[in-house]
Amino acid sequence: MKKISGSTFWYKKAFPTIWFGFLGFFVFIMIFPTVSGKAQAGFLIVPIAMAIFGYFMFRNLIWDLSDEVFDAGNELIFRKGGKEQHVKLSDISNISYSYMTSPERVVVSSRVNGPIGRELVFCPPMRFLHFKRSPLIAELIERVDRARNK
């Protein structure tokens, strides 16, 4: 069994904590001014808008990533939040791969619904240059195609 996903700690835990922590600190500074003596309520619009934008961005692009994905030969094993889902290669209907994003995203669409869902998302291991497709994902796409054609 080979791990084919990258680490998601930075994307799912550290970066959102820094993002919302900075915004919370900024709001705190604006609500409790120390120098000017009066609060600047008009400046609260920007951090609130950034918090709303950040929440939707993280929810749609980051928090749906699986924690770990393993290649077990004829199936993929997805782990996310204490749940585990086994997907046979022949049950995969599509693999979508976006490599010019950060993090890179691989969306595996399954014909069978499981505990995590039908669309399983993960990020491949980090690479230095993202200018071309990951050989790991290209090889996975070929194996899925062979498994479906048998």
Name the residue ranges covered by the structural domains of the chain: 2-61, 68-149
Specify the pTM.
Answer: 0.82
Reported as type and span, the H/E element at residue 59 is helix 45-61
CATH class of 68-149: mainly beta
The rounded distance, in Å, linking the Cα atoms of 79 and 19 is 26
Q: Are 1 and 77 in contact (CB under 8 A)?
A: yes
* Separation in Å, CA 134 to CA 92, 105, 127: 19, 11, 8
Task: Provide the pLDDT for residue 34.
Answer: 62
The rounded distance, in Å, linking the Cα atoms of 104 and 131 is 11
For 51-73, write each residue's pLDDT tens digit: 999 999 999 989 999 999 999 98
The rounded distance, in Å, linking the Cα atoms of 58 and 14 is 12
The band of 85, judged by pLDDT with boundaries at 50, 70 and 90, is: very high
Distant-in-sequence, close-in-space partners of 100: CB < 8 Å, separation ≥ 6: 130
The chain-wide mean pLDDT, for the chain, equals 88
Q: Which tokens is 126 given?
A: 């980090």
The rounded distance, in Å, linking the Cα atoms of 111 and 113 is 7
pLDDT at position 36 over 60: no
The rounded distance, in Å, linking the Cα atoms of 18 and 106 is 25
Q: Beta partners for 122?
A: 106
